[in-house]
């Protein structure tokens, strides 16, 4: 929620009579988080969003998670995915824990139904492709390198205009802009890597004035249901508040660079319970005359690190390609592979684009992890010729 937004027609005050041209009342809806204690928006519908015709069983296969055992660093080549579908059905879970689930999705068709994840925010990263995100609060045109932030409970449809590769993060909580990038009033500070102008909010068009039988697939944690509602979900005539879907494009991210190697926290984008997100975007390298541009070996003992490689030359990683995901697990040191340090010396810049997720609880492996794993990755730090064949 970058800042306050208002759109469409609103009454002068909240919770007062607000009438349609035919004299009837618009239906006010409070869309709130953390009970009544945190960010919220007020929506004004043509008709109540509560008119439910039927609730049915929605049989969804919850992703089975297995421990990362034996504990080791792993590499998943997800570009080999060949299971397209709509933005919900195409999801292939890769990694997860109680805080967050990571999936990839190759989206090649429109959603003919509505979807609502009430269990937590969704953070969608658009690797490539473009189209429209439709919500009651308006539509957002999306494009490659967009992050789309969907507050928990948002009813939406994602409609690709061109085939779209998504990285889907399903949080158990709320995705937020890190506190260190905000001042005491919530405004983004001068040293933040983005500013309010970089965030795109939905454009609210005319409300859909229609009644019928509309299917909303609802999920909330391990509970699912299929709702049939009477009133079209996109019948909002106005809304205001701090709780709304928005987009941020990574091409707008202004990276911090330094004299010496900068650690991932300076590249932060978002945070969520048990999770921190960073982005490595094209940037100048460090300017000390003896600087080593690639990262040092490190043991990050308190978190699992997940990198999704989007584009460019991933200098410190051997065998990595677009769509690769690496899991560098707490307890397993990682760093540049042999030759990478020497190859980086004197380089002035990088064109790599990658997104990162750190989790503070161990990640487990989902079905896609087994499908896409490059099983020899944990041996990729051996010098050529050192690795006995096996």
Interface residues toward Fe ion, by CB under 5 A: 305
Q: Which residue, 216 or 354, is less far from Fe ion as judged by CB?
A: 354
User: Shortest Cβ distance from residue 69 to Fe ion (Å)?
Assistant: 21
Secondary structure of the chain as H, E, C letters? CCCCEEEECCCCCCCCCCECCCCCECEEEEEECCCCCCCEEEEEECCCCCCEEEEECCCCCCCCCEECCCCCCEEEEHHHCCCCECCCCCCEEEEECCCEEEEEEEECCCCCCEEEECCCCEEEEEEEEEEEEEECCEEEEECCCEEEEECCCCEEEEEEEEEEEEEEEEECCCCECCHHHECCCCCECCCCCCCHHHEECCECCCCCCCEEEEEEEEEECCEEEEEEEEECCCCEEEEEECCCCEEEEHHHCCCCCCCCCCCHHHHEEEEECCEEEEEECCEECCCCCCCCCCCCCECCCCCEEEEEEEECCCCCCCCCCCCEEEEECCCCCECCCCCHHHHHCCCCEECCEEEEEEECCCCEECHHHHHHECCCHHHCCCCCCCCCCC
User: Shortest Cβ distance from residue 277 to Fe ion (Å)?
Assistant: 14
User: Shortest Cβ distance from residue 341 to Fe ion (Å)?
Assistant: 15
User: Shortest Cβ distance from residue 382 to Fe ion (Å)?
Assistant: 19
User: Shortest Cβ distance from residue 379 to Fe ion (Å)?
Assistant: 18
Q: Which residue, 117 or 344, is less far from Fe ion as judged by CB?
A: 344
Q: Which residue, 30 or 256, is less far from Fe ion as judged by CB?
A: 256
Q: Which residue lies nearest Fe ion, judged by its C-beta? A: 305
Q: Which residue, 204 or 268, is less far from Fe ion as judged by CB?
A: 268
Q: Which residue, 99 or 358, is less far from Fe ion as judged by CB?
A: 358
User: Shortest Cβ distance from residue 349 to Fe ion (Å)?
Assistant: 20
Q: Which residue, 304 or 305, is less far from Fe ion as judged by CB?
A: 305
């Amino acid at each position: 929620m970058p800042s306050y937004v208002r759109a469409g027609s609103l009454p002068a005050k909240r919770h007062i009579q607000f009438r349609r041209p035919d004299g009837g009342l618009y239906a006010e809806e409070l869309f709130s988080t953390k009970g009544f204690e945190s960010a919220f928006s007020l929506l004004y519908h043509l008709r109540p969003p509560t008119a439910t015709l039927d609730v049915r069983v929605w049989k969804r296969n919850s992703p089975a998670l297995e421990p990362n055992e034996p504990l080791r660093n792993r590499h998943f080549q997800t570009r080999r995915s060949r299971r397209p579908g709509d933005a919900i059905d195409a999801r292939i879970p890769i990694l997860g824990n109680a805080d967050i689930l990571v999936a990839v999705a190759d989206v090649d068709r429109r959603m003919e139904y509505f979807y609502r994840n009430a269990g937590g925010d969704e953070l969608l990263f658009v690797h490539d492709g473009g189209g429209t995100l439709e919500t009651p609060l308006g539509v957002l045109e999306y494009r490659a390198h967009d992050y789309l932030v969907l507050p928990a409970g948002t009813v939406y449809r994602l409609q690709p205009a061109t085939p779209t590769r998504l990285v889907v993060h399903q949080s158990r909580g709320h995705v937020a802009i890190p506190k260190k990038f905000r001042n005491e009033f919530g405004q983004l500070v001068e040293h933040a890597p983005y500013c309010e102008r970089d965030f795109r909010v939905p454009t609210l068009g005319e409300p859909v004035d229609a009644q019928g039988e509309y299917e909303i697939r609802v999920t909330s944690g391990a509970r699912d249901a299929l709702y049939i509602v009477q009133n079209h979900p996109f019948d909002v005539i106005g809304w205001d508040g701090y709780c709304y879907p928005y987009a941020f494009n990574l091409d707008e991210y202004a990276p911090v660079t330094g004299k010496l190697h900068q650690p991932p926290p300076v590249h932060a984008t978002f945070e969520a319970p048990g999770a921190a997100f960073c982005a490595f975007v094209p940037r100048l390298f460090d300017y000390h005359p003896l600087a080593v541009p690639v990262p040092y070996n490190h043991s990050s003992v308190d978190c699992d690190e997940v990198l999704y490689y989007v584009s460019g030359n991933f200098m410190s990683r051997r065998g990595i390609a677009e769509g690769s995901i690496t899991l560098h697990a707490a307890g397993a040191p990682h760093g540049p592979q042999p030759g990478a340090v020497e190859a980086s010396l004197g380089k002035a810049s990088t064109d790599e684009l990658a997104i990162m997720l750190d989790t503070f609880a161990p990640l487990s492996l989902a079905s896609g992890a087994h499908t896409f794993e490059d099983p020899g990755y944990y041996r990729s730090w051996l010098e050529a010729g050192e690795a006995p064949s096996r």
